[in-house]
Chains A and B, each alone.
Chain A
Amino acid sequence: MSFEAYVHARNAALSRIAYLLTGDHHLAEDLVQQTLMRVVGRWKRVAAAGDPDAYVRRVLYHQHIDWWKRRRGTVEVPQDGEATSAPDPSDAVVHTVAVRRALARLAPRQRAVLVLRYFEDLTEAQTAEILGISVGTVKSQARDGLARLRTFTGDLTQEVAP
C-alpha cells in the first residue's frame, strides 16, 4: 500500500482517535500530521510488514503521551466540547458533557487506555502492546480511569446522549 493511499483511507479514523486524545480540533490535526511525518521515514518497512495501521496508531498514541510530557505544566489542553457546547437541558446531554469534561482531566495514558479499550474495542493485551506497557498496568489504568470518571460525573451508567 502506498503512503498516499493509506493516508487517504485512514485519515478520518486517525483524526477521530486524535480528537479523543487531545479534545481539540487543532491539536488533533497537529497530532495526526506529526504522526504521519514520523511514519514516512519507515514507511517502506512498515508497509512491507503488512499492517501499517497498527504501527501508525502506536506512533500516534506515543506521540500524544510525549507531547503531554513535554508540555506538562505549561500548556492546558483546551476542550472544544467545553468551549463550544452550550449546556443542554436534557439529562443525557448534560451527562455526556460531564463525561467529556472528566475525560479531559485524566492523565494521557489513562485516557489512551480508555480510548483503546472502549472506543477501539481492543483487548487488554492489544492495548498493552500498543502502549508498550504491561497488561496489569492496562487493567489498573482502566480501573483508575473509570473510577476518576465516576468521581467527576457520578453514575457513569446514566443514559448518554448519542
Chain B
Amino acid sequence: MSADGRSIATVLAAVADEARPARLPADLWSRGMRRRRRRQVTAALAALALALPLLLVSRPGPETPADGRPAVPSRIDSPFPFVGTATSSPPGGASVIVTGPGGFGASGLFGGGYEDRAIVVGTNGSYRTVRHLNGFDAGESVLLSPDGRRVAGDWGMESSWQEGLGAAATTVLDLTTGHLRRYGAGAPVAWFPDGTRLLTSAGTLRVLHLDTGAVDDLGLRHETANVALAPDGRHAVVQDGSSLTVLDLTTGQTRTMATLDERHTLAGPGAWDGHGRVAVWECTPACSGVPQVALTLTYIDADTGAPATGPALRLAGVAGARLLGWQRDGDAVAVRFRDSGTSFTPPTGRRADVTAPPGGQPEVVALRPDGPGTVLVRVPAGADRVEVARGFLDRFGAAPASLRERLLDWLASHTGALVLLMAAGAALYAVRRYRRRNA
C-alpha cells in the first residue's frame, strides 16, 4: 500500500471508531417482509400494465357470429370518445353504419364541421369511425357493401382526396384491412348485389368495376333521384322526377316503367324485390313538403309497368321511410324517420322526398302485413341516417355490446398507441435510470 493509502487508512479507521452501532427496530424482519410483499405487488401491477396491450393484441376480439346467426345489434350507442378508426383498426366487416351531424361527439378537439364521422358497427359488435364525412348520409352518400366488408364514399372520405381524380370520385374503404382505394368514377350511388361493382354518378350513371377500376358510362342522366337495383344486378329502376325508368346495367338501354304522381315515390334502395315487383310508397297527403305522412307500399310489375299485388305494409305518423329490402319470410325492412326537421325546408343538396327527409331520429323497423312496424335497431341520439348491409337483413336481434365489451374493444383499437406509450415510458425510465447510475 502506498504512503497515501496507509495515511488514508489510518484516518478512516479513526473516523470509523466514532461510529455507534445502529439502533434497529425489534420488528426489522417483519418490516422487511412487508416491504418485500409491497414490492412484489407493485412489480406484478407494473408487469400487468405492460402486458395488457400485448394481451389485447393476442386477444381474439369480439366473436363474429357464424353465418345465419344474429349479427345486427338491436341498439347502437354513442361511441366512446376517441374510438378507433376503421382505417387504423379495421373491424373486419360491419353490419350497420350510422351518420349524424356532429359525429356523435367523437369529432375530436375542435367540434364538428369537416371532422364529422360515421359509426361503423362491426359484425362482432365493435365500434369504429370513418372520418371526414361532413354532410355525408349513411345509405345515400356512404354505402355499406352487401357483405359489410367495404364502405364506399366520395372523394372526401378519410381525407382521401387525390390530385387528378377531381371531386367526382369514389373512395372505397376495405373494413377487413383498413386500406383505401380511390377511383375517378363519380360519386357512389348503389352497390351491386355481388359487391364487385358500384353504380356511380358523375352527371350520368356509370358502373365501376372495383377490381380493375374500369368504368362503363351508361349514359343515363342522373341528378338526385332514387335508384334501386334488381336482386340479379342486371337492371336498375331510377326515379327522375315523376318518371320511373328501367336501366339495363350492361347495355345502358332504358325504358320507361311508369309515371308517378305526387303521392307516389320509389320506396328506397331495396324497392326491387325478388318477385319482379318494384315497391312504391303511397304517401298521404303527399310525398314531399309535409312534416308527417302515412305511407303504404304499393307495387308495380317491373316487366310490364302495371300495378302488381303485394303485402299491404304501412307506416303512419312518420316523417319518411326508406325501404332497405326484404327478409326471407316476406317482411320488409325499412328505415323509419320520426323527425321531419324543424321547418321541413330541405337544405341545399338534400332531397325533401320522404325517403330522405331533412330531419332524423331514424330507426330500422320490420314491416309486416298484420301489424305496426317492429323496431329492429335503435340508433344513438344525434343520428339522422342509418344503413344496414343488405346481406344482413335476416340477421337482426344480436345483443348490444356490453359496457365491458365496448371498453375492451376500445382498448384493443388503441393497442398500437398503448404499446408505443408503454415503450416510450419504459425507454424514458431506462434512460433516467442509466443516467442516475452513471452519474
B308 at the interface (CB under 8 A from A): no
Whether a CB of chain A sits under 8 angstroms from the CB of B402 is: no
CA distance A3 to B33 in the complex (A): 12
Asked if B221 is an interface residue, CB under 8 A from chain A, the answer is: no
Q: Which of B1-32 contact A (CB under 8 A)?
A: 1, 3-25, 28-29, 31-32
In the complex with contacts A15-B19, A69-B436, A158-B7, A40-B29 CB distance below 8 A: yes
- Count A-B contacts at CB 8 Å: 120
Report yes or no: B7 in contact with A156, Cβ–Cβ below 8 A: yes
Q: Which residues of A contact B23 (CB under 8 A)?
A: 29
Q: Which residues of B contact A161 (CB under 8 A)?
A: 14
- The answer to whether A81 and B12 have CB atoms under 8 Å apart is no
Contact between chains at B28 and A157 (CB < 8 Å): no
B41 within 8 A of A: no
Q: Is the CB of A41 within 8 A of B4?
A: no
Question: A103 CA to B7 CA in the complex, in Å?
Answer: 13
Question: What B residues does A39 contact at CB under 8 A?
Answer: 32
> For the complex, is B439 an interface residue (Cβ under 8 Å from A)?
yes
Q: Nearest residue in A to B7 (C-beta to C-beta)?
A: A156
Interface size class of A (residues with CB under 8 A): 35 or more
Q: Are the C-beta atoms of A99 and B28 separated by less than 8 Å?
A: no
Q: Which residues of A have CB within 8 Å of B25?
A: 33
Are B14 and A162 in touch, CB under 8 angstroms? Answer: yes
Contact A11 B36 (CB under 8 A): no
Q: Does A46 contact B (CB under 8 A)?
A: no
The minimal Cβ–Cβ distance linking B155 to chain A, given in whole angstroms, is: 58
| Chain A, residue nearest B31 (CB) | A37
Partner of A12, one of B18, B21, B35, B39: B21
Q: How far is the CB of A8 from chain B (nearest CB, A)?
A: 10
Beyond A7-B28, A118-B9, whether A96 also contacts B14 by CB under 8 A is: yes
Contact of B32 among A25, A41, A156 (CB under 8 A): A41
Neighbouring A residues of B4 by C-beta, 8 Å: 146, 149-150, 156-157
Known: A29-B22, A72-B439. A40 touches B7 (CB 8 A): no
Chain B residue with the shortest CB-CB distance to A147: B4
> What mask results when residues 401 to 439 of chain B are scored 1 for a CB within 8 Å of chain A, else 0?
000000000000000000000000000000000001101
* Contact A115 to B12, CB < 8 A, known contacts A156-B4, A156-B7: yes
A91 within 8 A of B: no
- Interface flags for A130-157 (1: CB within 8 Å of B; 0: not) read 0000000000000000100110000011
Contact of A156 (CB < 8 Å), options: B8, B22, B31:
B8
**Could you tell me the distance in whole angstroms from the C-beta of A131 to the nearest C-beta in chain B?**
11
Are A28 and B22 in contact (CB-based, < 8 A)?
Answer: yes
Kindly report which residue of chain A lies nearest to residue B23, judged by CB atoms.
Answer: A29
B3 and A157 form a contact (CB under 8 A): yes
B24 touches A80 (CB 8 A): no
In the complex with contacts A39-B32, A121-B9, A19-B14 CB distance below 8 A: no
B18 touches A81 (CB 8 A): yes
With both beta carbons as reference points, the residue of chain A lying nearest to B39 in the complex is identified as A41
Encoded as 1 (CB less than 8 Å from any B CB) or 0, chain A from 30 to 56 comes to 001100111111000000000000000
**Given A41-B36, A72-B439, A33:B12 Cβ within 8 A:** no
Complex formed: what's the CA distance from A100 to B7 in Å?
A: 12
Q: Which residues of A contact B16 (CB under 8 A)?
A: 16-17, 19-20, 119
Does A19 lie within 8 Å of B12, measured CB to CB? Answer: no
Write out the residue numbers on chain A whose beta carbons fall within 8 Å of the beta carbon of B14: 96, 160-162
Give Cα A119–Cα B15 distance, bound, in whole angstroms: 10
Min CB distance, A19 to chain B, in Å?
4
Taking a contact as CB atoms under 8 Å apart, the answer to whether A32 and B18 are in contact is no
Query: Quick check: A14 and B5 within 8 Å, CB to CB?
Result: no
Expressed in whole angstroms, the Cα–Cα distance for A147 and B31 within the complex equals 42
B35 touches A32 (CB 8 A): no
Nearest opposing residue in chain A for B35, CB measure:
A37
State in angstroms the CA–CA spacing of A3 and B437 once bound together: 29
Q: Residue on A with the closest CB to B16?
A: A16
Residues of A within 8 A of B13 (CB): 119, 162
Closest B-chain residue to A158, C-beta based? B7
- Which residues of A lie under 8 Å from residue B21 when comparing CB positions? 11-12, 15
State the Cβ distance, A147 to closest chain B Cβ, in Å. Answer: 9
Instruction: Flag whether A117 is at the interface (Cβ < 8 A).
Output: yes
CA distance A70 to B29 in the complex (A): 25
A20 adjacent to B22 (CB under 8 Å): no
Given contacts A69-B436, A114-B8, A118-B5, 11 further A-B contacts (CB under 8 A): A15-B20, A19-B15, A25-B19, A29-B22, A36-B28, A40-B32, A40-B36, A103-B15, A149-B8, A156-B4, A162-B13
Chain A residues with a Cβ under 8 A of chain B: 3-4, 7, 11-12, 14-20, 25, 28-29, 32-33, 36-41, 69-70, 72, 80-81, 96, 99-100, 103, 114-115, 117-119, 121, 146, 149-150, 156-158, 160-162
Name the 10 nearest CB pairs between A and B, nearest first. Answer: A40-B32, A41-B36, A19-B19, A32-B22, A16-B16, A119-B12, A118-B9, A37-B32, A29-B22, A99-B11
B residues in contact (CB < 8 Å) with A: 1, 3-25, 28-29, 31-33, 35-36, 39, 436-437, 439
| 28 contacting pairs across A/B (C-beta < 8 A) | A7-B24, A11-B21, A11-B22, A15-B22, A16-B17, A17-B16, A25-B20, A28-B19, A29-B22, A29-B23, A36-B24, A37-B28, A37-B32, A40-B29, A40-B31, A40-B32, A40-B33, A69-B437, A81-B18, A99-B8, A103-B12, A103-B15, A118-B9, A146-B4, A157-B6, A160-B11, A160-B14, A162-B14
